[in-house]
Structures are given as structure tokens and as C-alpha cells.
Amino acid sequence: MELDFESFVLAAATTSLEDEPAARPHADAIEFRMDLLDGDRDPLAALEAYDGELPVIATNRTEREGGDASQGPRRLDVLRAAAEFPAVAAVDVELATVTGERNEDGVEGILPHVRTHNAEVIVSTHDFEHTPRNRLSELLGRTSEYGDVGKVAVTAQDPGDVLELLRATHQSSSGETPIATMAMGEAGRHSRVVAPLYGSKIGYAPVDPAQATAPGQYDLATIADLIEGLQ
């Protein structure tokens, strides 16, 4: 399956691919949060059994960036294997992993491996404390340098943080690489609706609002309606 990130993609974030039928009326893709699975469940077995219509974004997020996966070869091996499934259209890899900033074993060759299997690479960075206003353009540039999509998620403390994120989004959206931005937290919640107007190409929302995978997410049906209403 393929995803066209030249157009906006709304991804239903979930820990279970069994949510795909419920996501289908509203979403363009399903983000499979493999790191949030119960310990005795095998994400690769879930991908093997997947027969849904929506393309999959495979994510195995580290603990340092809001996930539940320990750093190391096993986490990255799961991402490599996920890319080999035809249903997986994109794989999310953290910027700090790609650049070696965290000295994570097993990162060598992961980006070429993903692309060899016809999946896109989303290179992402997350800040769960604040919005680094002076570094937003730099971060978007760095994630775009390594990824087929560059993703920056920050935490807004006030509307000014959102304004700076939207400004950086607008400025960076004219580049060759698609970008995705969002401000987490209540102060930044509305960014998930308006960021697409400024050039952000991916939005995330849970099918069930009780199962949000990041602070400030709208449920899938609500954000789909809000974004459609602004087009």
C-alpha cells in the first residue's frame, strides 16, 4: 500500500489493527503503535494477520519520546521487519535515533532498508515539555533532511507557542520534503485542526478518545469533521 504525503493524511492512532474498520470512514491511514502493545502480544503477528484497507504507519516509539519501547536493536529490528509487510506504507523513526545522538545500537542501514521495501520514512522529534521556539525551523530542516516526511511535535504552554509553530510550518512547507507539525497539550490542541492549513501533511487522532496516544488529541471523527469544515 502507498501513501501520498503531498496531500494531507489523517492517521488513526491505535494499539490494535482491529480498529481499522471503525477508522476507515474517517482516516486515510492507521498508525500502529507497536510500542504500546501488551507485553505478550506480537506486533509482527498482528501485521501478518492484517487484512484492512487502510495503509499502515508503523511506529515503535522510544520511552524518551513518549512511547513504551526500550532503546536498542530489538526495537529497531521490529521496525525493519514491519517495513517488509505490503500493508506498511511508512515507518516512523526518531531523529535522535537516525543521527546517532543517543548511541542506539542497531540503527545502521534502517532507512535504506525501509525504502527498499517501498515504505516511506517519517523522521520525527517530540518535545513533551515545551516549544523550542528558536529551533523549530532547524528541527523541521533536520527531520526533512533524513526523512521522506519531517515531523515535529512540541508542547504548547500558551497560544504564542502555537503561533510560532504555525509560522515555522508555513515557512518550511515550501521545501521539497513534506512536513508534519502539531502542538501537544490543551494550549496547542487547536493546532491539530489548523496546522494542515499552514502546510502540515499528517494529523493523528485515536478512534476512541479514551485511547489517545498523545496529549491533546481529538477523537478521529471529531477532527475529521473539523478539518473538512476548514477546507
| Short-list 173, 164, 213, CA closest to 204 | 213
Helices (H), the chain: 20-23, 43-49, 73-83, 95-98, 110-116, 136-146, 159-172, 191-194, 220-230
Distance CA 29, CA 207 (A): 12
201 in catalytic set: no
Which one of 126, 130, 170, 190 is the catalytic residue?
126
The pair phi, psi for residue 184, each rounded to 5°, is -80, 165
- The three-state DSSP-derived secondary structure of 107-173 is CCCHHHHHHHCCCEEEEEEECCCCCCHHHHHHHHHHHHHHCCEEEEEEECCCHHHHHHHHHHHHHHC
C-alpha cell of residue 50: 492484517
Sign of CA pseudo-dihedral 4, 67, 209, 37? positive
Which one of 113, 151, 170, 201 is the catalytic residue?
151
Catalytic residues: 126, 151
